[in-house]
Amino acid sequence: MLKPVPSSFRQRNRASEAHMLRTLNTFAVDLMSIPCVEDLFWYVAQNVVGKLGFMDCVIYQADEVQTKLTQVAAWGEKNPYGRNIINPLVIPFGRGITGQVAQSRKPIIVDDLVGDENYIPDSEPARSEICVPLICGGRVMGVIDSEHPDIEAFGEPELEILSTVAAMTSAKLELLAETERSQERYEDLVAVHTQLTKETSTRKVLEAKLFESRKQEAIGRLTGRFAHEFNNLLTVISGNIELLALDAPDTGSLDTLQDAKTASARGAQLIRDMLAFAQRTRLTPETVDLNRLVSAFGEDCEQSLARPVERHLANDLWPVAADPAAVENMLLALALNGIEAMPNGGSLKIATENVFHTLPEGQHFPSELTPGRYVRLSVSDQGTGIGRDQLLQIFDPFFTTKGVGEGTGLGLSMVLGVMRQSGGTVAVTSEVGQGSSFELYFPAAPCGTELPSEDQ
Ligand SMILES: Nc1ncnc2c1ncn2[C@@H]1O[C@H](COP(=O)(O)OP(=O)(O)OP(=O)(O)O)[C@@H](O)[C@H]1O
Ligand SMILES: [Mg+2]
């Protein structure tokens, strides 16, 4: 029931149609930069009143299942609360003027609300009303509604303006929905990509670990067999040297045989280190106090190597089951490495500590301990440090950066083999130019284990 309404609107519109078009143009431009649906509704409500001269404007949003409308924005005398709605009205589709517009998807103008059965009166009674639907992608997204205290306040021009605003709002709603969908798709893609990257890098780490343990196992088997064969040969050679020495005709020959003996003793030491790496060394574990071993070793080391050795020994250190001679060998190998890494001087630090299993996965090499109580014995230097690539190789038998004849490359492999054979492991942290720290992890003896007395 549309009637021509010679209201203030129409007088103003006639006088300034060009102005209205410019206003709608500004409206459209403003809409472009609105970032979300809530801002959009409030902008439209505010500017239907402010820019387009309507007395009030209420916007209702339809729900997903197209059964009810909820008031989401209101501007004008009816809403004195600014951008805030207290007790938003909820209207079922089909009920009242707004509900009918939502259901029929067609605009409605009511010239006189008095006596109109569809009018839902509220705190500010009105005489006429205009309501247009917001349609987007074939669905009703809501309605824009405006009331006026005079009868016959709305006519064709107002309908045209409000329908234009509704069309612009609907287009913007569609754009926002599409932006949200694209954002969701983008986030899904990012999530899938992140998951894939994570899986790939986890797989790479696992593959590297598997490769490392297979490599160690293969080298261990090879080294063990080689050491075994070589030991048999060496036993024959040393036996023959002993026999020859018994019948040596002169001291010259004896000196030569002595050189041969020294060389075979060196060969025997190499074999012991190789067997140690292959975890086939003969260990005689006993309950020991590592503090006591470190103190004695530190004193010897300071005297024989003329280097200061700082000792940081933990109180109440847990006893461990270890072969004292093997521990001394390992300390010597690590101390020598540390001193060799500090050609310009510097002190060596040996520390002991009780630790619960705290080896952070991937930060140390090798990382293989089961959770439990351990005693950590660390030997640290302030030397050259070890580069990342070399860190993966230093435990390999025969890996050395020393010149030919200067190093066997068996020191650290022996340490790793003995520690593994003792139920522990060795880890290293190193920074090029800052120094290195080798940490031996010994499983602590069961609680209540007594240490043998000092003089034993
Ligand atoms: N504390 C350290 N600082 C810097 N580099 C080290 C340190 N300890 C070991 N390395 C590196 O690891 C390599 C292997 O050490 P390892 O003790 O197994 O053999 P080596 O010291 O070369 O030979 P050997 O022990 O027979 O004298 C060394 O050549 C060195 O490059
Ligand atoms: Mg060494």
CATH code, domain carrying 173: 3.30.450.40
Per the domain annotation, does 375 fall within a domain?
Answer: yes
Q: How confident is the model at residue 334 (pLDDT cuts 50, 70, 90)?
A: very high
Average pLDDT over residues 10-32: 74
Answer with the one of 161, 183, 205 that is the final residue of a domain: 183
Per the domain annotation, does 240 fall within a domain?
Answer: no
161 and 287 housed in the same domain: no
Question: pLDDT digits over 211-262, tens only?
Answer: 877 777 778 777 887 888 888 888 888 888 888 888 888 888 888 888 888 8
Contact 328, 350 (CB under 8 A): no
Per the domain annotation, does 354 fall within a domain?
Answer: yes
Q: Tokens 């929905």 label which residue? A: 177
Quote the CA–CA distance of 6 and 290 in Å, as a whole number.
Answer: 104
Per the domain annotation, does 160 fall within a domain?
Answer: yes
Question: pLDDT digits over 161-214, tens only?
Answer: 999 999 999 999 988 888 888 888 888 889 999 998 888 888 888 788 778 777
**Model confidence at 367: pLDDT above 70:** no
287 and 406 housed in the same domain: yes
* CA of residue 209 to ligand 2 center, whole Å: 24
Angle at 97 between CA 137 and CA 168, to 5 degrees: 35
**Nearest CA-CA partner of 132 in 112, 93, 158, 94:** 158
Count of structural domains within the chain: 2
Q: Which residues pair with 380 in a beta bridge?
A: 349, 437
Residue 172 makes CB contacts below 8 A (sequence gap 6+) with 31, 32, 34, 40
At residue 276, the pLDDT reads 80
Task: Give the number of the atom of ligand 1 that is nearest the alpha carbon of residue 384.
Answer: 4
Q: How confident is the model at residue 371 (pLDDT cuts 50, 70, 90)?
A: confident
Answer with the one of 183, 208, 230 that is the final residue of a domain: 183
413 and 298 housed in the same domain: yes
Please give the residue range of the domain that contains residue 147: 8-183
The one-letter amino acid at 299:
E
Quote the CA–CA distance of 440 and 273 in Å, as a whole number.
Answer: 17
23 and 172 housed in the same domain: yes
Q: Which residues pair with 439 in a beta bridge?
A: 378, 427
Instruction: Look at residue 30 and give its three-state secondary structure.
Output: helix
At residue 14, the pLDDT reads 57
**CB of 400 sitting under 6 A from ligand 1:** yes
**Cβ burial, residue 450 (10 Å; 0-12/13-18/19+):** exposed
Rg (CA), the chain: 44
Answer with the one of 144, 159, 183 that is the final residue of a domain: 183
Ligand in nearest proximity to the CA of 400 = 1
Instruction: Look at residue 56 and give its three-state secondary structure.
Output: strand
Question: pLDDT digits over 97-130, tens only?
Answer: 999 999 999 999 999 888 777 777 666 678 899 9
Q: Which residues pair with 288 in a beta bridge?
A: 320
Torsion over CA: 445, 448, 454, 456 (sign): negative
Average pLDDT over residues 40-69: 93
Per the domain annotation, does 224 fall within a domain?
Answer: no
42 and 168 housed in the same domain: yes
| pTM over 0.85, yes/no | no
**Nearest CA-CA partner of 307 in 327, 329, 337:** 337
- pLDDT above 90 covers a percentage of the chain that reads 46
Length of the chain: 456
CATH number (domain holding residue 396): 3.30.565.10
Task: Give the number of the atom of ligand 1 that is nearest the alpha carbon of residue 381.
Answer: 1
* CA of residue 246 to ligand 1 center, whole Å: 40
Per the domain annotation, does 253 fall within a domain?
Answer: no
Contact 152, 5 (CB under 8 A): yes
Mean pLDDT across the chain, nearest whole number? Answer: 86
167 and 20 housed in the same domain: yes
286 and 417 housed in the same domain: yes
* CA of residue 339 to ligand 2 center, whole Å: 10
Per the domain annotation, does 134 fall within a domain?
Answer: yes
Task: Give the number of the atom of ligand 1 that is nearest the alpha carbon of residue 383.
Answer: 3
**Nearest CA-CA partner of 239 in 261, 263, 256, 262:** 261
430 and 300 housed in the same domain: yes
Per the domain annotation, does 299 fall within a domain?
Answer: yes
**CB of 162 sitting under 6 A from ligand 1:** no
- Cα-flanking dihedrals φ and ψ of residue 160, to 5°? -65, -45
Average pLDDT over residues 377-402: 92
Average pLDDT over residues 428-454: 89
